[in-house]
Amino acid sequence: MIKTVRRPKTSVCIQATLMVCLWLVLTEAGTGQTIHAEPRVTVGAYYFDGWSGHSRQLAEDPQFAKLNPPTHLTKRLLGEFAGREPIWGWRDDNLEVVEQQIDLAADHGIAFFAFCWYFHKDPNEITKDPLNTGLELYLKAKNNHRLKFCLLVANHAGFEIKGTADWKQAADLWMPYLTHKQHVRINGKPLVIIFSPQGGDKAGFEYLQVAAREAGLPGVAIAACNAGDPNVGYTHRTHYNIIPGYASGSEKHAYTELLTAHQQQWQGSGQQPYIPVITAGWDKRPWEGIDGLGQTQGWYYPDRTPSQFGAFLESAIQWMDQHPDQTTAERIVLVYAWNEFGEGGYITPTKADPEGAYLKALKSAVMRRK
């Protein structure tokens, strides 16, 4: 209950009270440490929605069908890697869970989600595809003003965008997203990230730029994952993740090796600024073999810790501090990923980490004083 307190009669008392209140606001828990009110960087987290829809594999097994398993849940995730289950359960395809995730991200220094977006020639199939569910629920969320968004166009096998006509169709489909008030912008231009840049189409990108200007935008920032030819239309570079030994056989490696591999790729130019990416983890064993998704075995990095993750992010921030001419003025850094549970790249609170230690490490790095 809030108690009513009489107003001090003297101006001296009033000034003293205001000074005490100001001191309390600017210090943390009486330590005297000044709170850094503004984030040091703009953090985006990749959002993969393999946690809606229905798993064909598990639905055929009576033991697992009763769990209503989402598309990318596997027997290995339910068994050996059960600790990866998020605190809200394996499914995220309802508004309440998405709103919970928005609040968690915003409360811990994340500025936007980069939603994986999947193309179909039939536009009706795009909205029906469970892999696009997270984005659609985000747009309906009552608290989406707290978190911006952009698109990671997942134009890989099964969802390829082939030829100018397909790219023009995709551009038209993107326009409602790009003009949305919550869409992330670089120098005023909405950001689109292309997963597989070799599939890009110059005429299609030119059409996208014209369509954007006709919609009242100054253009579009098109970032290629890995290398993208600026002559095709790529204005920026980034990565989804950087994984040595992706399909080189099952082999245990140290998480610190991922940091080194990323640092070697962090470089941009005035023509193509680079958006650094950090990988929160990599261990895709839940998707390998017959009890997974049948993927080929690869290297895995199981020894990650929240402090190592925080140091990884800190190193990306330091790189941007030292190379402002090679990155964006908005100081954007991307995290792989918010919820890639099957691949081991996730920072959400889970059964094994119910207090959200990785989110706390992120917030500490982002809000730390310079």
Sorted by where each begins, the domain ranges of the chain are 43-367
CATH number of this structure's domain 43-367: 3.20.20.80
Would you state the pLDDT for residue 13? Answer: 38
Confidence of residue 59 (pLDDT cuts 50, 70, 90): confident
Measured in residues, the chain has a length of 370
Q: pLDDT tens digits, residue range 9-38?
A: 333 333 333 333 333 333 344 444 444 458
Residue-wise over 162-173: b if at least 16 C-beta within 10 A, else e?
Answer: eeeebbbbbbee
Question: How large is the average pLDDT for residues 225-237?
Answer: 97
Q: Is the pTM of this model over 0.85?
A: yes
Pick the more confident residue, 88 or 33: 88
Would you state the pLDDT for residue 56? Answer: 86
CA 13/CA 25 separation, integer angstroms: 18
Q: pLDDT tens digits, residue range 150-183?
A: 999 999 999 999 999 999 999 999 999 999 999 9
Would you state the pLDDT for residue 287? Answer: 96
- Long-range contacts of residues 358-363, Cβ cutoff 8 Å, at least 24 apart: 358/280, 358/306, 358/309, 359/104, 359/105, 359/108, 360/108, 360/306, 361/306, 361/307, 361/309, 361/310, 361/313, 362/43, 362/108, 362/109, 362/110, 362/309, 362/310, 362/313, 362/335, 363/107, 363/108, 363/109
Closest CA relative to residue 104, chosen from 148, 146, 44: 146
Q: Which of 26-30, 104-108, 287-291 is predicted with the least confidence, judged by mean pLDDT?
A: 26-30
Confidence of residue 135 (pLDDT cuts 50, 70, 90): very high
Question: How large is the average pLDDT for residues 251-258?
Answer: 97
